[in-house]
């Protein structure tokens, strides 16, 4: 166990961190990594590379802030208790985690989780506030 009672999630797989389970409807936008798609397929998730209704989990690549413009439009396709993971490069001065969170909040979401996506990318999860579910 980590210091101060914090849990250590470093041993968990990426799919566990993202909450992907067998039968989850996952829409992946802007990611083309074959290894990532192989991991998704191994879970038994229902995978799409486009926006579709009743999506449990969106995974959206963010390489520049302009990519966040599509975030508000995803809410209509997201199940009420679903999540949108925004995957962004680590350690880039031109893309900060704080600004991503601000843009997500401006789009009407709240951030409630983050994780390491890969050696080069992190991910932040946004959800619909409970008051709008």
Q: Which of 6, 4, 16, 5 is nearest to 115 (CA)?
A: 16
Alpha-carbon distance of 132 to 25, in angstroms, equals: 21
Q: Which residues of 97-127 are buried (b: 16+ CB within 10 A; e: fewer)?
A: eeebbebbeebebebeebbebeeebbbbbbb
The reported pLDDT for the residue numbered 4 is 56
Mean pLDDT of 68-77: 93
Predicted pLDDT of residue 8: 65
If you average pLDDT over residues 53-60, what whole number do you get?
98
DSSP code string of 38-105: HHHHHHT-EEESS--TTEEEEEEE-SSGGGGGGHHHHGGGEEEEEEEEEEEETT-TTS-HHHHHHHHH
pLDDT band at 9 (very low <50, low <70, confident <90, very high): low
The pLDDT value given to residue 44:
97
What is the predicted pLDDT for the residue at 17?
95
Of 80-89, 91-100, 115-124, minimum mean pLDDT range: 91-100
**What is the per-residue pLDDT for 63?**
87
Identify the CA nearest to 64 among candidates 93, 35, 37. Answer: 93
Number of structural domains the chain divides into:
1
CATH number at residue 119: 3.40.50.150
Region 52-66: what's the mean pLDDT?
A: 94
Return phi, psi of residue 124, to 5°. Answer: -125, 130
Length of the chain measured in residues: 133
Residue 111 pLDDT: 97
Q: Summarize pLDDT for 86-113 with one digit per residue, the tens.
A: 999 998 888 899 999 999 999 999 999 9
List the domain range (segments joined by +) for residue 54: 3-132
Beta-sheet pairing, 55-61 with 78-89 = parallel
Say what the pLDDT of residue 6 is.
63
């Amino acid at each position: 166990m980590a210091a101060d009672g914090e849990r250590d999630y470093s041993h968990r797989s990426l799919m566990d961190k993202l909450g992907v389970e067998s039968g989850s409807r996952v829409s992946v936008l802007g990611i083309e990594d074959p290894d990532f798609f192989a991991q998704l397929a191994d879970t038994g998730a229902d995978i799409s590379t486009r926006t579709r209704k009743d999506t449990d989990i969106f995974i959206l690549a963010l390489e520049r802030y302009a990519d966040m413009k599509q975030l508000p439009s995803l809410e209509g396709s997201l199940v009420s208790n679903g999540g949108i993971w925004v995957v962004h490069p680590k350690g880039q001065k031109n893309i900060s985690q704080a600004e991503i969170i601000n843009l997500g909040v401006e789009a009407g979401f709240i951030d409630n989780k983050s994780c390491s996506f890969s050696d080069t990318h992190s991910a932040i999860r946004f959800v619909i506030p409970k008051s709008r579910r």
